[in-house]
Amino acid sequence: MTSITSAFLNHLRSLYPSQSGTGNAGVLSNPWYIISAVAFSASNQPEGVPYIFDHMLSQLRESGSGMDEQKLLARKLREALLKSGLISGYPKAINSLVKLHEATPEELKDTQVQRSTTMPLQEYERKGQAFWDAIYPGENNIYDMLYKVYPDLAWFSKTVGYGLVYGHMEILSQLETSYTLVAANIAGDTPQQISWHLAGAKQVGASSEEVKAVRSIVIEVGKHCGVQWKNPVPEIDL
């Protein structure tokens, strides 16, 4: 991997349309940093994650943002890497989270579990169903396929994946979560799932321009990391 410069990171940021409407004010409103961190992680280049964190932290401090915004930045990156691990593999997510942890000031680290550890599994199944329906409205073919190949896979995907892992929306929004899934799949060269989640991002509120930007950011990071795709990266359906 070639060196990561501020110019390269600013280029990645510029690819995403301004006034993105992701639900956060100021510097954090452009989700390029979430997309890029996941792309570096899924490309097996965890060393890239601290560069993104340091770059964003400097921007927050220069803008006069307080400790709450800085903590939110750190939490969003941790959460994005955690969520991406179900797709890219947890060894990659762990390595990236370790690198991020090493770069994070003590006052911005979490010391307690962010998810409920006492919520009944049935509630996670309900949360998973809600997010599943948001990503795949009226779509049963994917679930039926998962159930056919292995019923446990369908249950795990909806309850644990979409409920326990993806369904935690207190840190990342539905749209930001969707972007982590797109980024991890593109970096991982899985065209079927890329197509599903490009469409899913539009279902939860992204414009075609924004989804194209997410795709472009991940491809730029992947090329920077030396990723070679065996399959063409699917385009979005405008």
| Cα-based torsion angle of the residue sequence 177, 215, 200, 129 in order, rounded to the nearest 10 degrees | -30
pLDDT band of 83, cuts 50, 70, 90: very high
* pLDDT, mean of residues 21-40: 83
Q: Which helix (H) or strand (E) holds 67?
A: helix 67-88
* pLDDT, mean of residues 5-27: 80
pLDDT band of 22, cuts 50, 70, 90: very low
Supply the Cα-derived Rg of the chain in whole angstroms.
17
Task: Look at residue 185 in the predicted model and tell me its pLDDT.
Answer: 98
User: Which amino acid would we find at residue 109?
Assistant: K
Measured CA to CA, the distance from residue 43 to residue 142 in angstroms comes to: 26
Q: How far is CA 4 from CA 47, 54, 103, 108, in A?
A: 10, 12, 16, 23
Whose CA is closest to 215, among 201, 204, 228?
201
Whose CA is closest to 168, among 133, 117, 215?
117
